[in-house]
Structure 1
Amino acid sequence: MKNLLFIIPFIFSFKANTVQFPVQKAYPEARELNIESIKKTKVLVFLNRTCPCTQQNIPYLNKLAKEFPEIDFIGVHSKKGGTLQEIKEVVEVYKPEFPVIDDNNLVIANLLKANRTPQAFILNENNEVLYNGGVTDRTNPTNAGKTYLKNALAEVSSHKEITEKETRSLGCVIIR
């Protein structure tokens, strides 16, 4: 069976830390998602079905998405050669309450230089990276001492500059 994933040809560039993304299919509903067209603050979180850290962080990310409804959350399943079935398993088993897009060719991971799952990026309405780093300071957020992503989101929501723009990401390596 041919790959069900249809990716429109894309152009990417960096302009003063601004990123242009390809249009991709988003699951669970398999609709096209154009990150470029989301003209508000968004969080891209890199995920991988087989990563225990991803599995432990999805419930926490769901809570953050509810706590910050004015910000769009998007999961990016980054696994070289990953399959549609793997994304469906992430959605069905771990139940992210936000769309998950496929990055089986690592285009988005390479654009943002993501290296771990889960790793989070906050982008403004112009796709400028405001934050890059870990969700928390632990692989399991229930044991976290520092809530990096939540702190950054609170600052963005309060129209403040993010204090810690880059933090250490813990989790599974995105293999290239």
Structure 2
Amino acid sequence: MSASRQIYLLLALSACCLLTMASPLHAGKYNPVLDAGDKAPTWDKLPATDGKSYSSASFQDKEVLVIAFTCNSCPYAVDYEGRLNQLAQKYSAKDSPVAVIAVNVNLVSADSLEKMKEQAAEKKFVFPYLFDESQKIGQEFGATRTPEFFVLNKERKVIYMGAMDDSTDASKVKQDYVSEAIAAALNGKQPKTSETIAIGCNVRYKRIRRKK
């Protein structure tokens, strides 16, 4: 092999290594942090619209946990409130093996905890609606849109993440990804679809200025 050929191969190998190192090791196709099958992040107690506080341990007796990242101010999130509430009603019995919760991490005034309480009362939410002022839970789940859904199995591994279903128009939904994932988890299986792209508004994370 010629010297020039050896140099070319070494440069190509170095470029591949750099690309691999720059890419997230566990990111999904659309999620920048998690991949299907990853252990879900845990969180400490967060305040909710019902006056209580909930941590990840609050739902440890449930076989399946559904987490919806949502807010008050996004029209997409508002459009999905009815579907989210309907899903939660389905599993609202105390002995239900499934828990459905929602989390808001936006810090704008329209998404304050007080406004969340107003929204929850007006829309008669039957699910715990949590607020995380630190935004940590959203960042650790890699949530980028509202609404965005995560389905966790009994081992609290992520078996589905992304959109709730295949259409923002409720009358045109043909595939309900979240319900399919719940059914699969209850049967100890993996859903056919483990990740989709979430459609909605950007989560409003604080901008952190880089130090000079």
Q: TM-score range by the shorter chain?
A: 0.7 to 0.9
What CA distance in whole angstroms lies between the structure 2 residues aligned with 1:102 and 1:152? 25
Cα–Cα, structure 1 residues 127 and 21, in superposed 2: closer, same or farther, change >3 Å? farther
Secondary structure in 2 matching 1:42: strand
1:166 Cα deviation (Å)? 0.7
Residue 84 of structure 1 and its aligned partner are, at CA, apart by: 1.6
Q: Give the superposition deviation at 1:167.
A: 1.0
Separation in structure 1 between the aligned mates of residue 140 and residue 181 of structure 2, nearest angstrom:
21
Once the two structures are TM-superposed, the CA of residue 109 in structure 1 deviates from its matched residue by 0.6
Distance in 1 between residues matched to 2:88 and 2:161, nearest whole Å: 17
* Matched residue type, 1:21: W
Give the secondary structure class of the aligned counterpart of 2:72. coil
Map 1:26-37 to 2 at 5 A: 26-28=48-50, 30-37=51-58
What is the CA deviation profile of residues 20-78 of structure 1, one whole-angstrom value per residue up to 9, with x for unaligned ones? 212111222x1121222422221010111011122121211222223344210111012
Q: TM-score, structure 1 length as denominator?
A: 0.82
Please state how far the C-alpha of 1:105 moved relative to its aligned partner.
Answer: 2.5
Matched position secondary structure for 1:57: helix
Distance 1:80 1:175 in 2: 7
1:87/1:18 CA distance change after superposition, 3 Å: same
Q: Out of 43, 61, 85, which is 1:21 matched to?
A: 43
Could you tell me which runs of 5 or more consecutive residues in structure 2 were left unpaired when the two chains were aligned. Answer: 1-33, 206-212
Q: Conserved in 1, the CA contact under 8 Å of 2:47 and 2:132? A: no
Q: Which moved more, 1:111-120 or 1:133-142?
A: 133-142
Q: In structure 2, how many angstroms separate the alpha carbons of the residues matched to 1:25 and 1:171?
A: 24
For residue 59 of structure 1, the aligned residue among 82, 100, 104 is 82
Secondary structure at the aligned position of 1:121 is classed as strand
Change (3 A) 1:77 1:18: closer
- The answer for the alignment partner of 2:22 in structure 1 is none
Q: Which residue of 2 aligns with 1:38?
A: 59
Match of 2:204 in 1: 175
How many residue pairs are counted as aligned between the two chains?
161
Structure with larger Rg: 2
Aligned residue for 1:27, secondary structure, equals coil
2:65/2:99 contact within 8 Å kept? yes
- CA contact 1:116–1:173 (8 Å) conserved in 2: yes
Taking a change above 3 Å as real, the CA distance of residues 164 and 118 of structure 1, as seen in their structure-2 partners, is same
The CA RMSD over aligned residues, in Å, is 2.0
State the one-letter code of the partner of 1:130: I
Q: Percent identity?
A: 25
Deviations 1:131-171 (A, max 9, x none): 11100122233332321112212222233212111111111
Q: Which moved more, 1:37-46 or 1:78-87?
A: 78-87
Gaps of 5+ in 1: 1-13
- From the two aligned structures, give the one with the greater strand fraction: 1
Query: Larger % of helix: which?
Result: 2
Does the CA-based 8 Å contact 2:48-2:131 persist in structure 1?
Answer: yes
